Amino acid sequence: MVKLGKTNLDSGWIAARSTEIHLDGIQLTTTHPPSLSSNSSNWIEAVVPGTVLGALLKNKQIPDPFYGLENDAIIDIADCGRDYYTFWFFTTFKCAKSANQHVNLNFRAINYSAEVYLNGHKKILPKGMFRRHSLDITDILHPDGNNLLAVLVHPPDHPGTIPPEGGQGGDHEIGKDVAAQYVEGWDWMTPIRDRNTGIWDEVSISVTGPVKLTNPHLVSSFFDNYTRVYLHSTVELENRSARIAECSLNIQVSTELEGNMFLIEHHQTSNLSIPPGAHIDYTLPQLFFYKPNLWWPNGMGKQSLYNVEITVEDKGFGESDSWSQHFGFRKIESSIDNATGGRLFKVNGQPIFIRGGNWILSDGLLRLSKERYETDIKFHTDMNFNMIRCWGGGLAERPEFYHYCDIYGLLVWQEFWITGDCDGRGVPVSNPDGPLDHGLFLICARDTVKLLRNHPSLALWVGGNEQTPPDDINKALKNDLKLHPLFKFPTDTSNSLKSFDDPSKYLDGTRDYIQGSMWDGFANGKGDFTDGPYEIQNPVDFFKDDFYNYGFNPEVGSVGIPVAATIRATMPEAGWKIPLFKKLPDGYIEEVENPIWKYHKYIPYSNPKKGVSDQIELYGLPKDLDDFCEKAQLVNYIQYRALLEGWTSRMWTKYTGVLIWKTQNPWTGLRGQFYDHLHDQTAGFYGCRSAAEPIHVQLNLATYFIEVVNTTADELIDVAVEASVWDLDGTCPYYKVTDNISVPAKTTQTTIEMKYPKTKNVKPVYFLLLKLFKWSNKAILSRNFYWLHLPGGNYKLLEPYRKKQVPLKIISDVMIRGSTYKINMTLQNRSKTTNMENVRYRNHLSTTEDLDMGESFSEEKRKTGLLHRVFRNFSKPSNEGSKVVETNGMDSGVAFFLRFCVHSTKKNMKEGEDTRILPVHYSDNYFSMVPGEKLTVTISFKVPPGVTPSVTLLGWNYEEAHSVY
């Protein structure tokens, strides 16, 4: 008997252009199976899951569309026709079914339609990018177990053309199909030439007994202030035999503890009979839990997950099918807030101030992987974000994406495939009626709901981006996704489960459906274009009353140039030229970028029309690419920290949340990102990380009052704020410690005014260090470092500051497990200041080390019950002991804008090769240290085979990299 369960078909695929293959699918899967061995073969190695372009790139048959202007060298489907990107995909697999077993061939998604041939038998996969397909292949498997599979994949029906001027969604024709709309290009991306044609998601075979189990729906309901909790479950069961199936349906819920130990919370069996050939929905008796561990979003608590396993046994066969998934007990509510007009989210009854970002997709060629997804999601939680919005022109994200959102605590706003640009506006004006086939859209939408609904991170369904779906689709979605009464009204003890249908019988019923991204508590709530803006801003403006007038902004964006190494790695030398700085008659500066930067959608760091001086030029005209990119990182940090601090300053009084447009680019773009496509972070990443701390101290740039932010559910007591000003000479002319204060839960509280700019002998450029600390033990709760200039001034005095040589001591403590490194870097600014004795508390206030930062072992973390483990199972390197490095320097002052980077030291390096090891998780980067201060930064990363890593430290006044490991 063949083992029951699922086997992925993710290797051994080959592909060929259909016009170059003169055989049909029956021949390919019977008498003429293809191979790569023939010299005249038109077949190439394929990427499955993947796309046609991905396969062509893997085989170097096209240039890299993410490099320089190379995408223009790839023929577009509008110019060559759909047949050019219609491809055969072929593989073989072994499977021979035993008596009473059934086998299905599963495609979790293809784009856009396909013909499937297996051992000479033909099946048709219908259209639609976002739907699952499952084919019963039991009777067409080859008796010897060797099976030939060929799939002919057709591109979208309406791939469209790309107008010379580009635009949002090209000519909008792609909007006629149920497909991702970004593929015709946008103001942040060039067109994808094959429109993502391919088998872009998982392919598998699944073996079951006579009874098949599909689409379980898990729902938790809460009573008595979350102490009484019920788990509801409904499953679909299909009896594929010709007899009545006498079945037992088992559900087991377990908690994961340390190691491989599990605690079984519940095990329950239900008996049922299924008529021959019947397909039924069966609702299991609910399970009762007393005070289960709840799932919380990032910053609010632990992401507790339980393992739910459901199996069906056929008494005439044995175990027939099974399903398992991690499940989090949590309740998500949202409503329009009376005070602000913004949508207010609550999780487990607690209001949550939303600070997050917009997401397109991980990779424009759909090179999706668990490893890349994990890095992407971990980066978002590293920034202290709590929500990610899956934009309507992108994907219905994959279960792997949601798996890591579950683990790391990111709430997800998932949109369906409607965007205003392709569905009702734009130039030319697009079709407001959405896709041509409304029934197909609803099939894909309902199947997507079933695919994703059990994930605790999924918080909201939204009809589309800056547009609502056509009336009939919108009405159907509202009905399909209506809330169950248990989730429509506040939880109280008077509610009885017996009063309602079981909530797991609903398609979803547990989350709100909002018709569009600017309706019902988002932007102005009426669908008018009141999101944005999308360009550089004066940092102080984010704090002003008139910056944004509505309670929740779903999109506000800005700049995002990466580091110079990324520019060099993704562009030819012509792309290394920095913008020309053209002075206008009104005194403002206009940046004129080179053509390659323009092609990669660069946003300038100046906006003369809006009265924003060039934020890079404030530091002095850049000399070269390295200088430009380093100054840009200073701007990135200030820009995004100010954005989030400005919103947080008005938490609950004016705003309920904000989502930044956008967190990353699915290709090598030069705007709106906190990390580039190669996975190196910009300084904006760490500006966000600082500003979005659950407990945070900040400077209101408009009022110059110091504010303390407490987004947690607990009152802050026994705390104080320390403010110290440092000048470029290394002295501390201003120092203030507040009295012992308390800050209520979910509150931004103003404390004292920062009076230094109003005192005598004020320096034109100065540093401000804020620390929020526990009064009793001096433990740091929040640390925030600013560089500031007087009103109307600039930062040009920082240019000669680069010559200051501030002495540092760096101690590296290295732990290794296999190919994974964790390094604790402890730094101390060893310079002295002439008035050190006046700084009463500072020497005692050093940050508490967060040893879980940079954690990237979610699978291991999952296996041990998501408990925090610190360096467990790691070993010291052979030269055990800490390495100490001291930098020379006799100057006193701030070690400014330091950053670590990790490189490989493998042999046979090519000249100009990008030696960075990416991704790397840092607990902090782009940080600064005042005299005497001591900080610890945790670094974690994996190294490729045969590579030895080295860690270097760079900084504003450390132009030469210091090797610290």
Instruction: Give the strands of the sheet with 203-208, arranged side by side.
Output: 5-8, 203-208, 102-107, 133-136
Picking from 654, 657, 653, the residue whose alpha carbon sits closest to that of residue 644 is 657
User: ω before 533 within 30° of 0 (cis)?
Assistant: yes
**Residue 719 in contact with residue 738, Cβ under 8 Å?**
no
Tokens of 517: 């991204």
Residue 69, C-beta contacts closer than 8 angstroms, at least 6 positions apart: 595, 596, 599
Let me know the angle formed at the C-alpha of 693 by 690 and 698, rounded to the nearest 5 degrees. 60
Picking from 40, 652, 554, the residue whose alpha carbon sits closest to that of residue 353 is 652
What does residue 826 show for φ and ψ, rounded to 5 degrees? -105, 120
Residue 3: how many CB atoms within 10 A of its CB? 7
Which helix (H) or strand (E) segment holds residue 620: the answer is: none
**Residue 696 in contact with residue 648, Cβ under 8 Å?**
yes
Longest pairwise C-alpha distance within the chain? 94
- DSSP E strands in 140-293: the ranges are 146-154, 203-208, 211-223, 228-239, 245-256, 262-274, 279-290
**Residue 424 in contact with residue 200, Cβ under 8 Å?**
no
Let me know the angle formed at the C-alpha of 820 by 818 and 825, rounded to the nearest 5 degrees. 130
Q: In the annotation, is 859 catalytic?
A: no
Q: In the annotation, is 630 catalytic?
A: no
Reduced to 3 states (helix: H, G, I; strand: E, B; else coil), residue 520 is coil
Picking from 427, 535, 393, 529, the residue whose alpha carbon sits closest to that of residue 166 is 427
- Point out which residues pair with 319 in neighbouring strands: 313
Per the residue annotation, which of 238, 466, 591, 933 is the catalytic one?
A: 466
Per the residue annotation, which of 400, 555, 591, 722 is the catalytic one?
A: 555
Let me know the angle formed at the C-alpha of 940 by 937 and 944, rounded to the nearest 5 degrees. 145
Distance CA 918, CA 939 (A): 12
Tokens of 13: 């695929």
Q: Which residue has the tokens 């403010």?
A: 723
Residue 820, C-beta contacts closer than 8 angstroms, at least 6 positions apart: 856, 857, 940, 941, 942
User: ω before 155 within 30° of 0 (cis)?
Assistant: no
Instruction: Give the strands of the sheet with 895-904, arranged side by side.
Output: 927-929, 895-904, 949-955, 958-963
| Helix 370-382 and helix 683-691, axial crossing angle in degrees, nearest 10 | 50
Which helix (H) or strand (E) segment holds residue 860: the answer is: helix 858-863
- Point out which residues pair with 589 in neighbouring strands: 583
Please report, for residues 482, 635, 718, 776, the alpha-carbon distance to residue 735 in angstroms, rounded to integers and kept in the order given: 56, 26, 20, 20
**Antiparallel, parallel or unpaired: β 820-829 and 228-239:** unpaired
Catalytic site residues? Answer: 466, 555
